[in-house]
Amino acid sequence: MSDAASKPKVYKPRPVTGFPEWLPEVRLIEQQWFDHIRRVFESYGFCSIETPSVEELDVLRAKGEVDKEIYVIERLHKDENDKSDARLALHFDQTVPLARYVAQNFNDLVFPFKRYQMQRVWRGERPQAGRFREFYQCDIDVIGVDNLPLHFDAELPAIMWEVMNGLPGMENERIRVHISNRKILMGFLESIGVSDEKTCREITTAIDKIAKSGLPLFYQSIREIFEKLPDHDTQEILVKMQEFGRIADLYKSSDELRDKLTHSEFIDTSHQTIREGIEELCFVMDNLSHLPEGAVVADLSIVRGLDYYTGTVYETVFLDDPSYGSICSGGRYDDLASSYISKKLPGVGISIGFSRLFARMVDQKKIDTSRKSPAEVLVMMPSEEQRPHIIALCRTLRENGLKVEMYHAAKKFPDQLKYASRKGIPFVLITEEDGTHKIKDMITGDQSEVDPKTWTPPTRKALDHVA
Amino acid sequence: MSDAASKPKVYKPRPVTGFPEWLPEVRLIEQQWFDHIRRVFESYGFCSIETPSVEELDVLRAKGEVDKEIYVIERLHKDENDKSDARLALHFDQTVPLARYVAQNFNDLVFPFKRYQMQRVWRGERPQAGRFREFYQCDIDVIGVDNLPLHFDAELPAIMWEVMNGLPGMENERIRVHISNRKILMGFLESIGVSDEKTCREITTAIDKIAKSGLPLFYQSIREIFEKLPDHDTQEILVKMQEFGRIADLYKSSDELRDKLTHSEFIDTSHQTIREGIEELCFVMDNLSHLPEGAVVADLSIVRGLDYYTGTVYETVFLDDPSYGSICSGGRYDDLASSYISKKLPGVGISIGFSRLFARMVDQKKIDTSRKSPAEVLVMMPSEEQRPHIIALCRTLRENGLKVEMYHAAKKFPDQLKYASRKGIPFVLITEEDGTHKIKDMITGDQSEVDPKTWTPPTRKALDHVA
């Protein structure tokens, strides 16, 4: 009832920085990505869970370091007198909610608990190039009670390899999974007399930064760490770290790794922690031997910054774009939910930074955006009198599993064809005056007579994005 | 590295009221619901979009009435000096974001724009029985430029009917779609001399409440409305409203409706607005005649409370549980985005209150929660030596499209079977010492020899929840 002529000056809406949003043709591929990831996760028996977008602020704050990135939520017109509600905040990852979920539902879950979770998370960062404040993460974790077999440490990289190599648009990307085991480095540090937890953490942080900042800065960091510690000879430590650097190489198989380390003069393979780390890493590599050569490497320079990892650690990189950093990463941890439950819950998990990866492929125009509609066929409407017949025709096609748009009005055929073309609908069904039907392939322009009761698109497999 | 014995007192996590969360076996069915809804929406050529969870507060506030339900978000440690960011808030529906999206991307969209959207929305209500503060809505809308054919008003109820009748667990629910056209009531009010917008709105609100509060309260509301208006004879209006009540009946077909209204002495079918309303409603009913009798009724008592509806309106109810109210509802509006764009964008849409409906079916134990895992088959591990063989076996099954969990350790067979049973995995694959394979059906207990290269579950159709 409003009248365009009398409208007030309009307000041009703008996108909110850091909160991605896609056009339909891009969203269609995003859905294909989610479908593919879900299909792979489920093919390994992982179940889906979703947690609320919010947790109590105290639950989130337990992981103090990201404090400043937390978004709290508040009712616009809250009752100032009402203190009944705990303060709520949007979750910034899916690990804290998983810990709360597992502790809360402990008696209803079957362990090892294999779950995947694909939800939005929020980080209240200052908007800057490539940083999202709302984004999807796709996580898988396996949680055990008291212990968790190494089997799962080997299963996750195989899953990630399969995920990464099936994403539409990623066909030409060369991906490599790097795997290490923190016990090797931790054991090495122990063996050279460094066992103080804080110092170990500072060293792993420094190692984690080598790829970004380079070796000279790394050695400077090590110097700074040990110059504060009078018990250690900084120069000697530096020599030892350089020695470790010589074995921190890439290994394509457990044989290569075992061979190099047992013959290395720089590492004491009889040291218990080191030996455990090597054995675990070799087990993981052996169980991934079915993957193509070079898909997975043991890489002792990988440590991951987060200090809750205790064994296997993973990173996945673009071979031709190392500056992107890790596409998906994760590792093994000793105890998921120690603040909530007195059971020990070891786990292993990997997380894909979905939105950042997807946005990269969109920016690089590597995804196909030719289809603005999921419809596989547009059914043309020849005349108003034919409407009941056309409705029935569409129903028949849908019953055969097709995605069908019925054109809404008896416009001229060229107009209807133009509509199909603009939406990127690949086929058009034409009903002739004599009652026969023709399919027009909108890409080749070919037309052929068909029986709508049995017709399916010749390229159906390629079109059907819900497998 | 933390030690269970030395742990501090644990904090028992509690669910946040109003934010639903499901166990894996319930979530699995929730996924089936989303998959089904998406499949139906796409089978009619609707494309998916997603918008950010937040909008600028000013954008949301344009729809003033829900002000107090808005959740604003704020960085926990924001810079007090930084005023660069607009205030952001979580969206409370998907219509306001749709309007902003369509205006913003107007030149990149193809009209009529048919989109579906299945996202979480947030309302900062006081928690109370059955009220969620975070929930999923599933919306479809069709947006035209300048005009939008009535075709789409008829398409939406067919889609909703198909959605509602295919949701797992809803098999025994009797659903009915009620359709009306507000032009009939508006024209009737005009014809009895009531055309003031505010009064019309008060009357529709009162009619909308009849189902809840009953007729006596309705007549009282009408009396109160008109006693404030000296131009009208309240008694006469009441008589007229009673007359309208006599035609505000249920009609199974356009013939029934047209017949009753043209022979009614209470309604002037030559009045232009009334006539338009009847013609539109009849068109919609005629185009739904393929649905089972009683699936759809014309119901002149339906008006919908929201005053932006201008023509067709819908409600969908449980025949055997009218107190639930409307499962999904919607209607036609004249202009989607008048505050953002000077084009006139008429639309028609329906929204399913997904989470409330799903929670009802869970509460009533009408959904099957026997499967805690998506895995169709558990592959048993006979011995550690067999591990490489078992890994390869799982790969073969996955390549055939099966969802497979590999048991992680060479435990005793009864333990492995118990695991399958606890997770609700319907089949177990056993590798015998002689290298042959058997499938055990966990429900019937039957075992039979199979070739893993070709085996697929006999009840695969029923199990496969991703179509």
Query: At residue A2, does pLDDT exceed 60?
Result: no
B64 touches chain A (CB under 8 A): no
Res B461: pLDDT = 44
pLDDT tens digits for A397-419?
A: 999 999 999 999 999 999 999 99
Query: At residue A30, does pLDDT exceed 90?
Result: yes
pLDDT tens digits for B116-151?
A: 999 999 998 776 656 899 999 999 999 999 999 999
Query: At residue A88, does pLDDT exceed 80?
Result: yes
pLDDT band at A341 (very low <50, low <70, confident <90, very high): confident
Q: How far is A256 from A246, CA to CA, in rounded Å?
A: 14
**Hey, are the CB atoms on A50 and B27 less than 8 Å from each other?**
yes
Average the pLDDT over B144-162 and give the result: 97
Do residues B279 and B243 touch, judged by C-beta distance below 8 A?
no
Do residues A148 and A362 touch, judged by C-beta distance below 8 A?
no
Average the pLDDT over B353-364 and give the result: 96
Token pair 């890409």 is at which residue? A443
Token pair 């590599």 is at which residue? A285
B263 touches chain A (CB under 8 A): no
Do residues A89 and A54 touch, judged by C-beta distance below 8 A?
yes
Res A302: pLDDT = 87
Omega cis (within 30) before A112: yes
A157 touches chain B (CB under 8 A): no
What is the least distance, in Å, from the CA of B375 to any CA of chain A? 5
pLDDT band at B212 (very low <50, low <70, confident <90, very high): confident
Q: How many residue pairs bridge chain A and chain B with CB atoms within 8 Å of each other?
A: 294
Q: What phi, psi does B164 have (nearest 5°)?
A: -65, -30
Most confident of A155-169, A249-263, B52-66: A155-169
Average the pLDDT over B276-302 and give the result: 94
Average the pLDDT over B174-203 and give the result: 91
**Hey, are the CB atoms on B104 and A375 less than 8 Å from each other?**
no
Higher pLDDT: A246 or A81? It is A246
Do residues A91 and A97 touch, judged by C-beta distance below 8 A?
yes
Do residues B160 and B44 touch, judged by C-beta distance below 8 A?
no
342-371 of B, contacting A, C-beta below 8 A: 342-344
What is the least distance, in Å, from the CA of B199 to any CA of chain A? 16
Res B337: pLDDT = 86
Residues written for chain A: 467
User: Which long-range CB contacts under 8 A does A205-214 form with residues at least 24 apart?
Assistant: A205/A305, A207/A301, A207/A303, A208/A303, A208/A304, A208/A305, A210/A301, A211/A301, A211/A322, A211/A325
Query: At residue A279, does pLDDT exceed 90?
Result: yes
Token pair 């904090």 is at which residue? B11
Res A463: pLDDT = 46
Nearest chain B residue (CA) to A5: B342
pLDDT band at B82 (very low <50, low <70, confident <90, very high): low
B457 touches chain A (CB under 8 A): no
Substitution target in B1, B57, B132 with the highest count of A β-carbons within 10 Å is: B1
A44 touches chain B (CB under 8 A): yes
**Hey, are the CB atoms on A310 and B1 less than 8 Å from each other?**
yes
Query: At residue B7, does pLDDT exceed 80?
Result: no
B324 touches chain A (CB under 8 A): no
Residue among B8, B134, B405 minimizing CB distance to A44: B405
What is the least distance, in Å, from the CA of A359 to any CA of chain B? 15
Token pair 């196909």 is at which residue? A368
Burial (CB count <10 Å: 0-12, 13-18, 19+), residue A368: middle
* DSSP code at position B147: B
3-class SS string, chain A? CCCHHHCCCCCCCCCCCCCCCCCHHHHHHHHHHHHHHHHHHHHCCCEECCCCCEEEHHHHHCCHHHHHHCEEEEECCCCCCCCCCCCEEECCCCHHHHHHHHHHCHHHCCCCEEEEEEEEEECCCCCCCCCCCEEEEEEEEEECCCCCCCHHHHHHHHHHHHHHCCCCCCCCCCEEEEEEEHHHHHHHHHHCCCCCHHHHHHHHHHHHCHHHHCHHHHHHHHHHHHHCCCCCCHHHHHHHHHHHHHHCCEECCHHHHHHHHHCCCCCCCCCHHHHHHHHHHHHHHHCCCCCCCCCEEEECCCCCCCCCEEEEEEEEEECCCHHHCCCEEEEEECCCCCCCCCCCCCEEEEEECHHHHHHHHHHCCCCCCCCCCCCCEEECCCCHHHHHHHHHHHHHHHHCCCCEEECCCCCCHHHHHHHHHHHCCCEEEEECCCCCEEEEECCCCCEEEECCCCCCCCCHHHHCCCC
Measured CA distances, B405 to A46, A47, B394, B427 (Å): 8, 11, 8, 10
Query: At residue A178, does pLDDT exceed 80?
Result: yes
- In b/e form, how buried is each residue of A115-147, taking b as 16+ CB within 10 angstroms? bbbbbbbbbbeeeeeeebbbbbbbbbbbbbbee
Residue among B7, B38, B47 minimizing CB distance to A372: B47
Omega cis (within 30) before B112: yes
In DSSP terms, A431 is beta-bridged to A437
Res A232: pLDDT = 82
Both ends of chain A: CA-CA distance in Å? Answer: 44
Query: At residue B83, does pLDDT exceed 80?
Result: no
Using only C-alpha atoms, chain B has a radius of gyration, in whole angstroms, of 28
Res A130: pLDDT = 63
Query: At residue A47, does pLDDT exceed 70?
Result: yes
Residue among A35, A43, A374 minimizing CB distance to B404: A43
A23 touches chain B (CB under 8 A): yes
Q: What phi, psi does A46 have (nearest 5°)?
A: -80, 135
Do residues B16 and A87 touch, judged by C-beta distance below 8 A?
no
Average the pLDDT over B197-201 and give the result: 86
CB atoms within 10 A of CB A87: 14
Res B84: pLDDT = 62
What is the least distance, in Å, from the CA of B282 to any CA of chain A? 14
Residue among A45, A86, A466 minimizing CB distance to B39: A466
CB atoms within 10 A of CB A393: 20
- Strands B309-318 and B328-333, sheet pairing: antiparallel
3-class SS string, B236-286? HHHHHHHHHHHHCCEECCHHHHHHHHHCCCCCCCCCHHHHHHHHHHHHHHH
Alpha-carbon dihedral sign for residues A369, A372, A373, A376: negative
202-241 of B, contacting A, C-beta below 8 A: none
**Hey, are the CB atoms on B375 and A101 less than 8 Å from each other?**
no
Q: What phi, psi does B207 have (nearest 5°)?
A: -65, -40
- The percentage of chain B sitting over the pLDDT mark of 70, rounded to a whole number, equals 91
Token pair 């937890």 is at which residue? A197
A400 touches chain B (CB under 8 A): no
Q: Which residues of B touch A467 (CB under 8 A)?
A: 466
What's the pTM value of the predicted model, to 2 decimals? 0.94
Residues 6+ apart with CB under 8 A from A367: A26, A29, A168, A169, A361
Query: At residue A7, does pLDDT exceed 50?
Result: no
From A259-273, B105-119, B122-136, B248-262, the region with the lowest mean pLDDT: B122-136
**Hey, are the CB atoms on A31 and B43 less than 8 Å from each other?**
no
What is the least distance, in Å, from the CA of B344 to any CA of chain A? 6
A130 touches chain B (CB under 8 A): no
Res A438: pLDDT = 97
Higher pLDDT: B341 or B377? It is B377
Q: How far is B179 from B326, CA to CA, in rounded Å?
A: 12
Q: Which residues of B touch A399 (CB under 8 A)?
A: none
Res B175: pLDDT = 96
Res A134: pLDDT = 96
Res A209: pLDDT = 84
**Hey, are the CB atoms on B134 and A53 less than 8 Å from each other?**
yes
Higher pLDDT: B466 or B343? It is B343
Query: At residue B323, does pLDDT exceed 50?
Result: yes
Q: What is the mean pLDDT of chain B?
A: 90
What is the least distance, in Å, from the CA of B214 to any CA of chain A? 30
- The percentage of chain A sitting over the pLDDT mark of 70, rounded to a whole number, equals 91
Nearest chain A residue (CA) to B127: A85
Nearest chain A residue (CA) to B47: A373
What is the least distance, in Å, from the CA of B110 to any CA of chain A? 7
Do residues B433 and B418 touch, judged by C-beta distance below 8 A?
no
In what order do the strands lie in the sheet containing A71-75?
A: A54-56, A88-90, A71-75, B71-75, B88-90, B54-56
**Hey, are the CB atoms on A24 and B338 less than 8 Å from each other?**
no
Q: How far is B376 from B393, CA to CA, in rounded Å?
A: 15
**Hey, are the CB atoms on A7 and B72 less than 8 Å from each other?**
no
Q: Which residues of B touch A341 (CB under 8 A)?
A: 10
Measured CA distances, B179 to B81, B116, B246, B314, B426 (Å): 54, 21, 17, 5, 43
**Hey, are the CB atoms on A395 and B88 less than 8 Å from each other?**
no
292-321 of A, contacting B, C-beta below 8 A: 310
pLDDT tens digits for A110-135?
A: 999 999 999 999 998 776 656 899 99
> Can you tell me whether residue B430 is helix, strand or coil?
strand
**Hey, are the CB atoms on A45 and B112 less than 8 Å from each other?**
no
Average the pLDDT over A130-148 and give the result: 94
- Of B81, B311, B6, B351, the C-alpha closest to B181 is B311
Residues written for chain B: 467
Average the pLDDT over B43-66 and give the result: 87
Average the pLDDT over B188-193 and give the result: 90
Nearest chain B residue (CA) to A41: B403
pLDDT band at B363 (very low <50, low <70, confident <90, very high): very high
Higher pLDDT: B302 or B51? It is B51
Token pair 């218990």 is at which residue? A272
**Hey, are the CB atoms on B10 and A341 less than 8 Å from each other?**
yes
Do residues B354 and B136 touch, judged by C-beta distance below 8 A?
yes
Do residues A154 and A289 touch, judged by C-beta distance below 8 A?
no
Residue among B11, B14, B52 minimizing CB distance to A339: B11
pLDDT band at A466 (very low <50, low <70, confident <90, very high): very low
> Can you tell me whether residue B178 is helix, strand or coil?
strand
Res A301: pLDDT = 86
374-393 of B, contacting A, C-beta below 8 A: 374-375, 378, 387-388, 391-392
B448 touches chain A (CB under 8 A): no
Average the pLDDT over A72-82 and give the result: 79
- The percentage of chain A sitting over the pLDDT mark of 90, rounded to a whole number, equals 68
Residue among A73, A101, A422 minimizing CB distance to B71: A73
Q: How far is A216 from B390, CA to CA, in rounded Å?
A: 47
- Strands A113-122 and B113-122, sheet pairing: unpaired
- Give the tokens for residue B182: 């507000």
Res B464: pLDDT = 45
Res B398: pLDDT = 97
B461 touches chain A (CB under 8 A): no
